[in-house]
């Protein structure tokens, strides 16, 4: 699998190849500045990178586009700031665990977010919905808990809470929900 990454030292573009079954980082050297780089498959793996003498990047970050639908994870005492791209279809979301089946994982020390906390569904027409997955602490949209089994449509800027972890919804072109409208008299 070949992709282009950006050197975290000098900003040069580099083409790298990562094996399908590789569990550790691929070590590469920037052609421009000659600095070593650790390249991981996922952003969660790159965030766990421990060797401070070498900067880490992920293929997910290289493929990330702010044009798409994504979650902006807010920094807390438990969690570093992160962005999680949401692909089309149904995706399980939860706390990072290398053995988890969750496709969307947040790297956090927050014990109140389950490893399989909620489902996100992104339709072909760009509609994004969230549904709690019988989590211990619930899933909240703009401070209101969603009921078990309820699928809640999300809008640009909605604030999601999973345990003590907070995320902001970003939709392409700032699309707003065309659904509920309030009339003020």
Q: pTM for this structure? A: 0.65
Measured in whole angstroms, the distance separating CA 151 from the mean position of its chain's CA atoms is 20
pLDDT class for 59, splitting at 50, 70, 90? low
Distance CA 32, CA 12 (A): 7
Q: What is the mean pLDDT of residues 9-26?
A: 73
pLDDT class for 47, splitting at 50, 70, 90? low
Q: What is the mean pLDDT of residues 10-25?
A: 72
Residue 23 has pLDDT above 50, yes or no: yes
Q: What is the pLDDT of residues 62-90, one digit of tens each?
A: 555 556 899 999 989 988 888 898 999 99
pLDDT score, position 182: 42
Q: What is the pLDDT of residues 79-130, one digit of tens each?
A: 888 889 899 999 999 998 888 888 999 988 999 999 999 999 999 999 999 9
pLDDT class for 185, splitting at 50, 70, 90? very low
Domains of the chain, each with CATH number or no CATH: 2-63 (2.20.28), 70-174 (2.60.200.20)
């Amino acid at each position: 699998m070949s992709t282009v990454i950006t050197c975290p030292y000098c900003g040069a573009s580099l083409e790298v190849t990562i094996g399908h079954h590789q569990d550790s980082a691929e070590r590469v050297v920037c052609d421009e500045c000659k600095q070593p780089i650790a390249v991981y498959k996922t952003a969660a793996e790159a965030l766990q990178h421990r060797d401070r003498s070498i900067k880490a990047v992920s293929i997910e970050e290289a493929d990330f586009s702010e044009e798409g639908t994504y979650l902006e994870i807010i920094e807390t005492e438990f969690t570093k700031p992160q962005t999680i791209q949401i692909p089309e279809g149904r995706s399980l979301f939860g706390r990072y665990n290398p053995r988890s089946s969750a496709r969307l994982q947040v790297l956090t020390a927050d014990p109140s977010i389950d490893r399989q906390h909620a489902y996100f569904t992104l339709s072909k027409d760009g509609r994004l919905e969230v549904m709690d997955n019988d989590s211990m602490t619930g899933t909240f949209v703009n401070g209101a808990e969603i009921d078990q089994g309820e699928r809640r449509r999300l809008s640009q800027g909605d604030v999601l809470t999973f345990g003590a972890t907070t995320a902001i919804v970003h939709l392409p072109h700032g699309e707003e929900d065309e659904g509920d409208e309030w009339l003020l008299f």
